């Protein structure tokens, strides 16, 4: 597995920079006398998107590759800055980092605090389902969200402050059928034990918890929701946002960055999801 995309995107970058005149937003002019890098914030604990190489301790992952390719696109060296996920927005607004490329979903609450690019990935919210409940109601991996939501006795469990708790309520599940837990371990345990029936969460943790509990759980692959993942920057940095959007639009061109991500990371994603590769994250629909 390649650790970076510097070589793979170099030809694309040369053509892009020639086309855009090597434009760099003044606030991030990497050609100044200090020649400072683009500081990209992410939390290096989320395999395979943001993590460290176990041998070298260097940052690697899909988000790292995207960050370095974006740096090449705008003509900047890139410095990966490891920041706790919950502190990324504060670090950005305080000037400790320049952009966020950290599997961060774009939503209304965060858009009040920072600006976002167009999405470059989507994190689908799928279901960890108790196997006995699934058998009782004829639910399989290929059932639809509508099939599950139609079961009026289904009990949901989620984590306080996270989409796993808020999304069932947004989808119209009565509050008395949605249990709130303080952490993922206790929420998962309730599904495993059959105390609750369904937990909504993003793909990787759902599949990981299913593989740990293969006899008592199953995966519902149809998505309850799809969260857009975007590059974050400070409000008012319109030129940087425009460049980010140009970069994202070019990712899906033939021979572009998405093709390289497929080559480098598809096997790793399939090892985690077991059923899908990286396209599961690249597009809003399956």
Give residue limits of the domains in the chain: 10-114+234-282, 123-225
Which of 28-37, 99-108, 248-257 is predicted least confidently? 28-37
23-43 average pLDDT score: 70
pLDDT above 60 (res 20): no
Compute the CA torsion angle 252, 60, 48, 88 (nearest 10 deg).
Answer: -90
Residue 104 per-residue DSSP state? P
pLDDT at 204: 87
Q: How confident is the model at residue 41 (pLDDT cuts 50, 70, 90)?
A: very high
pLDDT at 163: 86
**123-225 has which CATH code?**
3.40.190.10
Tell which residue, 72, 79, 69, has the closest CA to residue 17.
72
Fold match between 10-114+234-282 and 123-225?
Answer: yes
Tell which residue, 225, 219, 84, 99, has the closest CA to residue 162.
225
42 - beta bridge partners?
Answer: 82
pLDDT at 26: 44
Which of 7-16, 22-31, 235-244 is predicted least confidently? 7-16
Residue 245: cis peptide before it, omega within 30 degrees of 0: no
Fold of 10-114+234-282: D-Maltodextrin-Binding Protein; domain 2 (3.40.190)
Q: How confident is the model at residue 36 (pLDDT cuts 50, 70, 90)?
A: confident
Rounded-to-integer distance, Cα 213 and Cα 188, Å: 10
**Max alpha carbon distance in the chain (Å)?**
68
Q: How confident is the model at residue 19 (pLDDT cuts 50, 70, 90)?
A: very low
Residues in Cβ contact with 3 at an 8 Å cutoff, skipping those fewer than 6 apart: 53, 58, 60
In percent, how much of the chain has pLDDT > 90?
Answer: 79
225 - beta bridge partners?
Answer: 125
What does pTM read for this prediction?
Answer: 0.80
φ, ψ of residue 142 in degrees (nearest 5): -100, 5
Rounded-to-integer distance, Cα 103 and Cα 81, Å: 14
Asked whether the beta carbons of 276 and 269 are under 8 A apart, the reply is yes
Asked whether the beta carbons of 182 and 225 are under 8 A apart, the reply is no
Mean pLDDT for all residues in the chain: 89
- Pairing status of strand 78-82 against strand 38-42: parallel
Rounded-to-integer distance, Cα 206 and Cα 187, Å: 12
pLDDT at 13: 40
pLDDT above 60 (res 10): no
Rounded-to-integer distance, Cα 113 and Cα 122, Å: 21
Collapsing DSSP states into helix, strand and coil, what is residue 156? strand
Distances in whole angstroms, Cα of residue 182 to Cα of each of 157, 160, 164, 185? 11, 6, 11, 9
Helix, strand, coil in percent for the chain, rounding step 5: 40, 25, 35
pLDDT above 80 (res 152): yes
Helix or strand (DSSP H, E) at 198? strand 198-202
Tell which residue, 119, 69, 64, 122, has the closest CA to residue 282.
122
Would the CA dihedral through 109, 112, 113, 115 be positive or negative?
Answer: positive
Give 207-260 pLDDT, tens digit per residue: 999 999 999 999 999 999 998 999 999 999 999 999 999 999 999 999 999 999
pLDDT above 90 (res 37): yes
Tell which residue, 75, 67, 80, 64, has the closest CA to residue 30.
75
Give 58-77 pLDDT, tens digit per residue: 999 999 999 999 999 999 99
């Amino acid at each position: 597995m390649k650790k970076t995309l510097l070589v793979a995107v170099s030809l694309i970058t040369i053509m892009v920079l020639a086309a855009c005149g090597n434009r760099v937003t003044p606030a991030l002019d990497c050609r100044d006398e200090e020649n400072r890098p683009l500081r990209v914030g992410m939390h290096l604990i989320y395999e395979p998107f943001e993590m460290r190489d176990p041998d070298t301790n260097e940052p690697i992952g899909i988000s790292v590759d995207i960050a370095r390719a974006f740096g090449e696109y705008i003509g900047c060296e890139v410095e990966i800055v490891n920041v706790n996920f919950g502190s990324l927005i504060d670090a950005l607004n305080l000037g400790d980092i320049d952009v966020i490329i950290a599997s961060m979903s774009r939503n209304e609450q965060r858009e009040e605090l920072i600006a976002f690019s167009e999405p470059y990935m989507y994190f689908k919210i799928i279901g960890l389902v108790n196997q006995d409940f699934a058998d009782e109601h004829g639910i399989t991996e290929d059932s639809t969200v509508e099939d599950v939501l139609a079961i009026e006795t289904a009990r949901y469990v989620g984590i306080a402050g996270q989409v796993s708790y808020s999304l069932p309520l947004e989808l119209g599940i009565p509050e008395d059928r949605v249990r709130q837990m303080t952490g993922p371990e206790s929420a998962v345990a309730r599904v495993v034990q059959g105390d609750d029936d369904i937990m909504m969460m993003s793909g990787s943790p759902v599949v990981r918890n299913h593989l740990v509990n293969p006899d008592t759980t199953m995966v519902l692959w149809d998505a309850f929701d799809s969260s857009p993942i975007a590059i974050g920057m400070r409000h008012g940095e319109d030129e940087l946002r425009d460049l980010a959007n140009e970069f994202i639009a070019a990712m899906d061109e033939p021979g572009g960055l998405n093709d390289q991500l497929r080559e480098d990371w598809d096997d790793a994603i399939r090892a985690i999801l077991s059923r899908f590769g990286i396209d599961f994250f690249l597009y809003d629909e399956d």
